[in-house]
Structure 1
Amino acid sequence: MVHISRISFRKYGNFVDNLRLYVRGGSGGMGLPRLGGQGGDGGNVWVVATKSMTLKSIKDKYPHKRFVGEPGVNSSVRVLKGDKGKDKEIFAPVGITVTSDEGKVLGHLNAEGDRVMVAKGGPGGSFYSAFQPSKGQAKHIRLDLKLIADMGLVGFPNAGKSSLLTAMSNATPQIASYAFTTLKPEVGKLMYPDYKQISIADLPGLIEGAHINKGMGHKFLKHVERTKQLLFVVDVCGFQLANKTPFRPAFEAVQLLTKELELYKEELVLKPALLVVNKMDLPSAEDKLQELKEQLQNPDEFSDLLPDDMIPKNYITFRHVVPVSATNGFGIDHLKSCIRESLDEEAAIAIKAIHQDRLQTLRNQLQGTFSLQ
């Protein structure tokens, strides 16, 4: 088992999802006291989102991890106002949260072209500073990658998430025969007949204790935050990580997954969710599916089956419970339809809420107009 864990960790380590950088704005240029000349401001440092970049490529290309804006140009007899120093741009992947070393959020890069200033250049020397320039801001920042996807696959190792993603989409995740089969996050695209595309993120499998960063812990859970909806995947016949860990029937697996998400960040379990019951090609799968459905319909009646530390504050009501077999393709088309239906429903709710807000704003404006008259 030790050998297996070492392989899994090393291969996942090739995927970089957090990077610490040193940034410093350029120093301002010297002023010219004799003629009242003003030095140029130092260049700023920006983080800019681009689809062609990864955190690993930044790490490989800039091993020093230092990014400095150019200094402002000194004032001179020929040019009394010096030019501003050139800005420094750090190109980073879409889906980055930029934070300070202390954890303060400086900005988000949610779309290509989004920009966050992380270090301001120093002002040039002028009359107000006795013509002495200032240094630029200097700090350490962190680039934290969180996947952005419509659906996030949530499940324990060997639930069949990677196989399911392969069966549904164009993704080809690396799949191994040992417990931690997902070697790095993968995003697959579902294409529908009307050319609608839906993204699904397959993330490293959770283990018990993930909320306190056991296993891949927070590496997994932070990505769940950036998905619109959750797609729980459980093995219809239950799950056991290792010989020394307890066997979990499907109902227990669902509630333990819920509890892990809840303990990490309670609002995660408020996301719309679907449940995929995988491996329906196995013997006695139908009987186990019926048992699971009954337990999900009346979770309070079966809560005594769960250890106290596995009972979530709120049981998730799944929009759809879909039995599938990723191995032979059973139920895959129906699952795609359920995913589309759930996302379309949520989009319609969001649009309705926007329209209601706009209507209420208009009513308030009209009432204000009439009250003035």
Structure 2
Amino acid sequence: MTEGNFVDYVKMFVSSGNGGKGSSHLHREKFIEKGGPDGGDGGRGGHVILRGNSNLWTLLHLKFKKHIRAGHGLSGSKSRSFGADGTDEYVDVPLGTVVRDTETNEIIFEITDDGEERIIAQGGKGGLGNWHFRTPTNQTPRYSQPGIPLEEKHITLELKVLADVGLVGFPNAGKSTLLSVVTSAKPKIADYEFTTLKPNLGIVKYRDFQTFVMADIPGIIEGAAEGRGLGHYFLRHIERNSILLFLIPADAPDIKKQYDILLDELRRYNPEMLDKDRIIAISKCDMLDDELKAELKELLDNELPIPYLFISSVAQQGITELKDKLWKMLNS
């Protein structure tokens, strides 16, 4: 999937259908001059329904479809004939889609399961025909109910990427390079910061035809939790990952400090992120000789509170060990 085709934020207007009005018809036929009421009920207005679809990975198909309108219910008629229900409108969305009220920014619900259906705009109920209002003292009521009006909403769809492993790191830490090595994904790679502007997903092939999904998230900068850089635009994608893989280059001035900054940004954005399993990969270790690597290892053994590995995506060093470790963590 190219970067331009990854759409994870869409605003929409949805409108359900009006309920059909009930009929006030009185029965008439040959030899029966004054028949009783026989007006039928109006049909229900159509719903607008969001449906989870595991085959979708982005909101691209909704990018230019900003207005969704369901069908109106038809009016009832004579002989207690009910009006037809309005046509429901189904909107397929990828798993991990959060639905918000655009005006209040409140979360209405989330779609997380394949085939899950949630009504976002309820169709109006059809009105009752006059047949329902006959009584012993009023045997020919000439009134019926109107249908209940439609429901309109402005909503915002936000996609939070569903992946097993999320890559977390500063810009230009080598996240896209690692993703391109361990998966078949082809993210944009260049020697400057913020090369990645949209999340990239890749499927990591493991032993015995087993797989897991890895997500490359745009680089975090200090202050991202307050919206600096790309801010909340990408931090929400990390919320869905089972494991957080922190990628810190071997030539970083202070590896422990970089890890602390990254962890603090996640904590300030959502403290629940600290409950996820975490592991650190020291990238670009092909720049280190054995002596430097031994010194760095001795230093990190005392400083880092979580497991770490040395890897080099370019030299293919430590990649198999990283896959083994991630698979073990996912299935522990």
TM-score by length of 2: 0.85
Corresponding residue of 1:138: 152
**Residues 40-51 of structure 1 mapped to structure 2, 5 A cutoff:** 40-50=43-53, 51=55
> For residues 53 and 79 of structure 1, do their structure 2 counterparts lie closer, same or farther at Cα, with a shift above 3 Å needed?
farther
Give the letter for the 1:337 counterpart.
Answer: D
In structure 2, distance between residues paired with 1:276 and 1:165:
13
Q: Summarize deviations over 1:50-99 as a string: whole Å, max 9, x none.
A: 32473222113x2xx11111000111125621121110111222321122
**Residues 134-283 of structure 1 mapped to structure 2, 5 A cutoff:** 134-238=148-252, 248-283=253-288
SS at structure 2 position matched to 1:341: helix
Corresponding residue of 1:38: 41
1:59 and 2:63 are equivalent in the alignment: yes
SS at structure 1 position matched to 2:60: helix
Give the letter for the 1:180 counterpart.
Answer: F
Greater gyration radius? 2
SS at structure 1 position matched to 2:207: coil
Instruction: Tell me how far 1:286 sits from its aligned partner.
Output: 5.3
1:121 and 2:123 are equivalent in the alignment: yes
Instruction: Tell me how far 1:138 sits from its aligned partner.
Output: 1.1
In structure 1, distance between residues paired with 2:127 and 2:208:
60
Q: Summarize deviations over 1:251-292 as a string: whole Å, max 9, x none.
A: 211111111111111111221111100011114685367446
Corresponding residue of 1:23: 14
Instruction: Tell me how far 1:249 sits from its aligned partner.
Output: 1.9
Instruction: Tell me how far 1:188 sits from its aligned partner.
Output: 1.2
In structure 1, distance between residues paired with 2:256 and 2:198:
27
SS at structure 1 position matched to 2:257: helix
In structure 1, distance between residues paired with 2:168 and 2:294:
19
SS at structure 2 position matched to 1:219: helix
SS at structure 1 position matched to 2:11: strand
Conserved? CA contact 1:175–1:183, under 8 Å = no
Conserved? CA contact 1:174–1:183, under 8 Å = no
**Which stretch shows the higher mean deviation, 171-180 or 256-265?**
171-180
> For residues 201 and 324 of structure 1, do their structure 2 counterparts lie closer, same or farther at Cα, with a shift above 3 Å needed?
same
Corresponding residue of 2:311: 324
Instruction: Tell me how far 1:162 sits from its aligned partner.
Output: 0.7
> For residues 289 and 17 of structure 1, do their structure 2 counterparts lie closer, same or farther at Cα, with a shift above 3 Å needed?
farther
Q: State how many pairs are aligned.
A: 305
Q: Output the aligned Cα RMSD.
A: 2.2
Q: Structure 2: give runs of 5+ residues left out of the alignment.
A: 26-37, 134-142
> For residues 213 and 331 of structure 1, do their structure 2 counterparts lie closer, same or farther at Cα, with a shift above 3 Å needed?
same
SS at structure 1 position matched to 2:208: coil
Corresponding residue of 1:8: none
Higher relative contact order (CA 8 A, sep 6+): 2
SS at structure 1 position matched to 2:20: coil
Give the letter for the 1:222 counterpart.
Answer: R
> For residues 209 and 284 of structure 1, do their structure 2 counterparts lie closer, same or farther at Cα, with a shift above 3 Å needed?
farther
Conserved? CA contact 1:278–1:323, under 8 Å = yes
Conserved? CA contact 1:37–1:76, under 8 Å = yes
SS at structure 1 position matched to 2:287: coil
Q: Summarize deviations over 1:283-302 as a string: whole Å, max 9, x none.
A: 46853674465356346xxx
SS at structure 1 position matched to 2:325: helix
**Which stretch shows the higher mean deviation, 276-285 or 261-270?**
276-285
Identity of aligned residues (%): 34
> For residues 53 and 89 of structure 1, do their structure 2 counterparts lie closer, same or farther at Cα, with a shift above 3 Å needed?
farther
Conserved? CA contact 2:14–2:121, under 8 Å = yes
Conserved? CA contact 2:23–2:41, under 8 Å = yes
Q: Summarize deviations over 1:106-138 as a string: whole Å, max 9, x none.
A: 322223322221000001111589421111211
SS at structure 1 position matched to 2:19: coil
Corresponding residue of 1:89: 90
> For residues 176 and 344 of structure 1, do their structure 2 counterparts lie closer, same or farther at Cα, with a shift above 3 Å needed?
same
In structure 1, distance between residues paired with 2:263 and 2:180:
24
Conserved? CA contact 2:39–2:79, under 8 Å = no
In structure 1, distance between residues paired with 2:71 and 2:95:
26
